Copies of this chain bind each other. A is one copy, B any other.
Amino acid sequence: MHDNIRTIRNTVLARIKPSPEERNKLAELARRIAGYIQDEGVSCELVGSAARKTWISGEHDLDLFLMFPTTLSREELKVDGLRIAKSVANRADSYEIRYAEHPYVHARFDGYRVDLVPCYRIESAKELKSAVDRTPFHNKYVLSKIGGLEDDVLLLKRFMKCADVYGSELRVHGFSGYLCELLIIHYGSFLEALAFACDWRDGLSIEPGVSTSYRDSNAGIAPGGVWEPLCMIDPTDPNRNVAAALSLDQFYTFVDAARGFLAEPSIEWFFAEPVPPVDKSEITGAIAARGTDLLAVVFEIPDMVEDIVYPQLYKMEQSVLSMLAEREFAVLGSAATVLPAGMTAENVVLLIELVSGELPALKKHIGPPVYMQNHAERFKAKFVAKDTFSGVYIEDGRYVVDIRRKYRLAKDLLESELSSCALGKQLRECVRAGCVVLERDEITDALDCEFLNRFLRK
CB contact between A458 and one of B332, B333, B390 (< 8 Å): that residue: B390
- Are A249 and B362 closer than 8 Å at their CB atoms? no
Q: Tell me, yes or no, whether A391 is within 8 Å of chain B by CB.
A: yes
The residue of chain B having its C-beta at the shortest distance from the C-beta of A362 within the complex is B290
- Are A394 and B256 closer than 8 Å at their CB atoms? yes
User: Which chain B positions have C-beta within 8 A of A259?
Assistant: 373, 376
Give A287-340 interface residues, CB cut-off 8 Å to B: 289-293, 328, 330, 332-333
User: Which chain B positions have C-beta within 8 A of A293?
Assistant: 360
User: Which chain B positions have C-beta within 8 A of A229?
Assistant: 397
User: Which chain B positions have C-beta within 8 A of A402?
Assistant: 290, 332, 458
A289 CB → nearest B CB, Å: 6
User: Which chain B positions have C-beta within 8 A of A289?
Assistant: 361, 389
- Are A408 and B291 closer than 8 Å at their CB atoms? yes
Binary CB contact string for chain A from 427 to 458 against chain B (1 if under 8 A, 0 otherwise) = 00000000000000000000000000000111
Give A371-414 interface residues, CB cut-off 8 Å to B: 371, 373, 376, 389-391, 393-397, 402, 408
User: Which chain B positions have C-beta within 8 A of A396?
Assistant: 248-249
The residue of chain B having its C-beta at the shortest distance from the C-beta of A250 within the complex is B394
Also in contact, A360 and B291, with CB within 8 A (given A255-B371, A373-B259, A396-B248): yes
Q: Tell me, yes or no, whether A202 is within 8 Å of chain B by CB.
A: yes
Binary CB contact string for chain A from 226 to 237 against chain B (1 if under 8 A, 0 otherwise) = 000100000000
- Are A391 and B248 closer than 8 Å at their CB atoms? no
Q: Tell me, yes or no, whether A31 is within 8 Å of chain B by CB.
A: no
User: Which chain B positions have C-beta within 8 A of A13?
Assistant: none
Also in contact, A391 and B457, with CB within 8 A (given A370-B255, A397-B252): yes
Q: In whole angstroms, how far apart are the Cα atoms of A402 and B455 in the complex?
A: 12
A246 CB → nearest B CB, Å: 13
- Are A371 and B332 closer than 8 Å at their CB atoms? no
Q: In whole angstroms, how far apart are the Cα atoms of A408 and B361 in the complex?
A: 22
A36 CB → nearest B CB, Å: 47
Also in contact, A362 and B248, with CB within 8 A (given A200-B371, A457-B391): no
Give A328-371 interface residues, CB cut-off 8 Å to B: 328, 330, 332-333, 355-356, 359-362, 364, 370-371
User: Which chain B positions have C-beta within 8 A of A200?
Assistant: 371
Q: Tell me, yes or no, whether A139 is within 8 Å of chain B by CB.
A: no
User: Which chain B positions have C-beta within 8 A of A291?
Assistant: 359-362, 408
Q: In whole angstroms, how far apart are the Cα atoms of A356 and B395 in the complex?
A: 21
- Are B255 and A395 closer than 8 Å at their CB atoms? no
- Are A252 and B355 closer than 8 Å at their CB atoms? no
Q: Tell me, yes or no, whether A199 is within 8 Å of chain B by CB.
A: yes
- Are B397 and A249 closer than 8 Å at their CB atoms? yes
| Across the A-B interface, the 4 shortest Cβ-Cβ residue pairs | A291-B360, A393-B458, A252-B370, A291-B361
A–B pairs, 30, beta carbons within 8 Å: A198-B373, A199-B373, A201-B371, A202-B371, A202-B397, A229-B397, A248-B397, A249-B395, A249-B397, A252-B371, A253-B394, A256-B376, A256-B394, A259-B373, A289-B361, A290-B361, A290-B362, A290-B402, A291-B359, A291-B360, A291-B361, A291-B362, A291-B408, A292-B362, A333-B364, A389-B456, A390-B457, A390-B458, A393-B458, A402-B458
